[in-house]
């Protein structure tokens, strides 16, 4: 996803000299070509994310389109007030790009787990929140942000789900994509962990359980219509995110269902419980450890289906 983002930003920067990419001293090897090709559109702000974000705001207020880039929480939580007061309140064209959503950097420890960012960022007025699930969506989200402007948050995972475009499909900000239709359950997933939702749907399909799978590449604005339709048309809803269950995708979907008066037959949030993981491991290991893998999702979904049918 990271490479897809850089690829699209490179194309855009060629056309639009207003684009500036600022890194917080990260991206070794990844940003080198961009820096060489666009020396006037690239800046290393040093290990100083509050200032990086404030500078991005100042540049944006003077007509630039600015992307701040770093790992996990460094473009978001470390400089949250700069995003809130400077970027969002002034509607500045700044996009905070975080590489390493969820457990992407699973071996590096809790400092490098981006597991509360969606909940926190979506609470900011004016802020759009993009959580692409695969390469195509990462490219398209980047294009959409370049076209429509910030404030935005782009959360890029290390992994990817198989969520490439169907023939002729168009990407729309705030519009969930139905990757598979079914009626017994609807999986609504954000980020690369969509792959685990698809795996769960595959397991359940073998048992005759049909699943709808929605790729929620934009958490804000939320596709409330797709959510309400899922609640009305499917047996239940399972939200899947590599993120705390508090206030993220699960929270957003639950709010949308209740406000639409569309009560799903059951509702399950797959995500991290309200704890800090203190162990490390690769992304797959940690997903299993926290029951976020396809098999665990299938098991927990089956339990919900069993409860409503008994």
Partner 1 sequence: MTFANAYWDRTNDPDALTSLAKRIRINAVRMTNSGNSSHVGSVLSIADILATLYGRVLRVDAANPRAPERDRFILSKGHAGAGVYAALAETGFFPIENLTRHYQNGSNLSGHVSHKNVPGVELSTGSLGHGLGVGTGMALAAKLQAKCHRVFVQMSDGECDEGSNWEAIQFAGHHRLDNLIAIIDYNKIQSLTSTEDTLALEPFADKWRAFNWAVREVDGHDIGALVRAFEAIPHEAGRPSCVIAHTTKGKGVSFMENNVLWHYRSPQGAEFAAALAELDADSNA
CA distance 186 to 289: 24
Counting contacts by CB under 8 A, is residue 82 touching partner 1?
yes
Q: Which is nearer to partner 1, 92 or 119 (CB)?
A: 92
CA distance 192 to 104: 10
Give the one residue of 29, 39, 40, 275 binding partner 1; rule: CB under 8 A.
Answer: 40
Report residue 14 CA to chain centroid gap. 26
Phi-psi region of 3 (alpha: psi -120 to 50; beta: other; left: phi over 0): alpha
Give the one residue of 7, 11, 89, 175 binding partner 1; rule: CB under 8 A.
Answer: 89
Q: Which is nearer to partner 1, 55 or 179 (CB)?
A: 55
Q: Which two tokens stand for residue 164?
A: 């490439």
Q: For 200, phi and psi rounded to 5 degrees? A: -65, -40
Give the one residue of 6, 13, 55, 204 binding partner 1; rule: CB under 8 A.
Answer: 55
Counting contacts by CB under 8 A, is residue 56 touching partner 1?
yes
How many residues contact partner 1, by CB under 8 A? Answer: 25
Minimum separation from the CB atom of position 64 to partner 1 (A): 6
Counting contacts by CB under 8 A, is residue 68 touching partner 1?
no
Counting contacts by CB under 8 A, is residue 64 touching partner 1?
yes
Counting contacts by CB under 8 A, is residue 149 touching partner 1?
no
Counting contacts by CB under 8 A, is residue 241 touching partner 1?
no
Q: Which is nearer to partner 1, 59 or 286 (CB)?
A: 59
Give the one residue of 46, 109, 221, 273 binding partner 1; rule: CB under 8 A.
Answer: 46
Give the one residue of 58, 149, 174, 277 binding partner 1; rule: CB under 8 A.
Answer: 58
Counting contacts by CB under 8 A, is residue 51 touching partner 1?
yes
> In residues, how long is the chain?
310
Residues forming contacts to partner 1 in the complex (CB under 8 A) are 40, 43, 45-46, 48, 50-51, 53-64, 81-82, 85-86, 89-90
């Amino acid at each position: 996803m990271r490479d897809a983002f850089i690829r699209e930003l490179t194309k855009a920067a060629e056309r639009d000299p207003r684009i500036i990419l600022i890194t917080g001293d990260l991206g070794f090897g990844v940003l080198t070509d961009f820096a060489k090709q666009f020396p006037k559109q690239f800046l290393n702000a040093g290990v100083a994310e509050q200032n990086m974000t404030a500078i991005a705001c100042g540049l944006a207020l003077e007509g630039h389109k600015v992307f701040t880039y770093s790992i996990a929480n460094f473009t978001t939580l470390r400089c949250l007030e700069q995003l809130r007061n400077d970027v969002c309140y002034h509607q500045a064209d700044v996009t905070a790009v975080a590489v390493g959503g969820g457990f992407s950097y699973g071996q590096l420890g809790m400092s490098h787990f981006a597991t509360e960012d969606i909940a926190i960022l979506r609470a900011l007025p004016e802020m759009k929140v993009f959580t692409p699930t695969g390469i195509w969506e990462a490219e398209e989200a980047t294009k959409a942000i370049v076209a429509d402007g910030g404030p935005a948050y782009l959360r890029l995972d290390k992994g990817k789900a198989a969520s490439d475009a169907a023939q002729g499909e168009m990407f729309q900000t705030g519009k969930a994509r139905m990757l598979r239709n079914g009626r017994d359950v609807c999986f609504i997933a954000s980020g690369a962990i969509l792959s685990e939702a698809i795996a769960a749907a595959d397991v359940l399909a073998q048992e005759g359980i049909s699943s709808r799978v929605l790729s929620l590449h934009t958490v804000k604005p939320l596709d409330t219509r797709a959510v309400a339709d899922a609640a009305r048309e499917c047996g239940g809803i399972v939200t899947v995110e590599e993120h705390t269950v508090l206030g993220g995708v699960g929270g957003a979907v639950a709010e949308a269902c209740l406000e639409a008066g569309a009560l799903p037959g059951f509702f399950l949030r797959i995500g991290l419980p309200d704890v800090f993981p203190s162990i490390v491991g690769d992304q797959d290991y940690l997903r299993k450890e926290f029951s976020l893998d396809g098999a665990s999702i299938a098991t927990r979904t089956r339990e919900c289906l069993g409860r409503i049918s008994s």
